[in-house]
Structure 1
Amino acid sequence: MCEVFVSANPESYESRTRSVRLHGVITSIRLENLHWEVLEEIAARDGLSVVQLIERLHDELVQARGAVGNFASFLRVSALRYMALLAHQRIPNDLAVPIRSLDAQAVLRDLPGSWARQPMRVEKS
C-alpha cells in the first residue's frame, strides 16, 4: 500500500511560495507544488490564470462566509476536493469542460456529510 504514496516525486511535496495581488494587496501563499499544479488545471479549465482563480475563490469565500480564515488551507482543500470530485465522477475528466459550466447543485448532491457545508439552520423566534 505505501508504495502508492511513497513513490511520489519528492518535488510534488516541496513547498513553493507565490506572491499574488488580491485587489491591489500583495500577499504570499505557500503551497506544495502538487497543489499549485491542480490549481493551474482548475484555472485552465475556465480560461483563467492561477492568480485570477485565487482571486475569484477568495472573493466567493468572503461572500459566502464573511471571512477568509486560513486561505492557504482552503486552497489545499479546494485542490483535494477537485481531485476527489473527478475521482467520483462528479466533474467530467474532459479538461475542455469548464467548471463554470457545471450545475453546482448536481455536482454537490448527496455528497458525504464531511464533504459539504451543512445548511444553516434558522431559528424561529
Structure 2
Amino acid sequence: MCEVFISANPESYESRTRSVRLHGVITSIRLENLHWEVLEEIGARDGMSVTQLIEKLHDELVQARGAVGNFASFLRVSALRYMALQARQRIPSDLGVPIRSLSAGQVLQDLPASWASPTRRLSL
C-alpha cells in the first residue's frame, strides 16, 4: 500500500514560495510543487494564469466568507478538492472543458456532508 505514496517524486512535495500581487499588494504564498501544478492546471482550463486564479479565488472567498483565514491552506484544499472531484467524475478529466462551463450545483450534488461548509452554504 505505502509504495503508492512513497514512490512520489520528492520534488512534488518540496515547497516553493511564490510572490503574487493581489490587487496591487504583493504577498508570498508557500505551497508544495504538486499544489502549484494543480492550481496551474485549474487556471489553464479557464484561460487564467495561476496568479489570476489565485486572485479570483481570494476575491470569491472574501465575498462568500467575509474573511480569508489561512489562504495557503485554502489553496491546498482547493487543489485537493479539484483532484477528488475529478476522481468522482464530477469534473471532466478533459482539460479542454473549462471549469466555468460546469454547473456548480451538479458538481457538488450529493457529496459527503464534510465537504460543505457547516455554517454557510453558497447558493449554487
- TM tier relative to shorter chain: over 0.9
Aligned to 2:69: 69
- Structure 2 distance, partners of 1:17, 1:119, is 32
The 1:105–1:26 alpha-carbon spacing in structure 2 relative to 1, beyond 3 Å, is same
SS of residue matched to 1:117: coil
- Structure 2 distance, partners of 1:115, 1:100, is 20
Q: Which blocks of at least 5 consecutive residues in structure 2 are unaligned?
A: none
Query: Higher Cα Rg: structure 1 or 2?
Result: 1
SS of residue matched to 2:30: strand
Shift of 1:116: 1.4
Matches within 5 A, 1:1-125: 1-118=1-118, 120=120
Instruction: Quote the sequence identity (%).
Output: 85
Q: Which blocks of at least 5 consecutive residues in structure 1 are unaligned?
A: none
| 4+ residue runs over 2 A deviation | 118-121
Superposition TM-score, scaled by structure 1 size:
0.94
SS of residue matched to 2:16: strand
Shift of 1:23: 0.2
Aligned partner letter, 1:26 = I
SS of residue matched to 2:76: helix
